[in-house]
Amino acid sequence: MRILGVDPGSRAAGWALVSFEGPPRLVAAGVLRPATTTPFAQRLLAIHDGLLAVVEREHPDEAAVERVFSGVNPQSLITLGEARGVLLLALARAGVPVHEVTPAEIKKTITGTGQAEKEQVRRMVLSLLGSPSGFSRLALDAADAAAAALTHGFRTAAGRRSAPVTAASATVRPRVGG
Residues with active-site annotation: 7, 66, 141
Q: What's the Cα-to-Cα distance from 90 to each of 47, 50, 53, 129, 135, rounded to whole Å?
A: 9, 9, 9, 27, 25
CB 84 within 8 A of CB 8: yes
CA-based nearest residue to 1, from 64, 57, 50, 49? 64
**CB neighbour list of residue 142: distance below 8 Å, 6 or more residues apart:** 7, 14, 15, 16, 29, 30, 31
Amino acid at 113: T
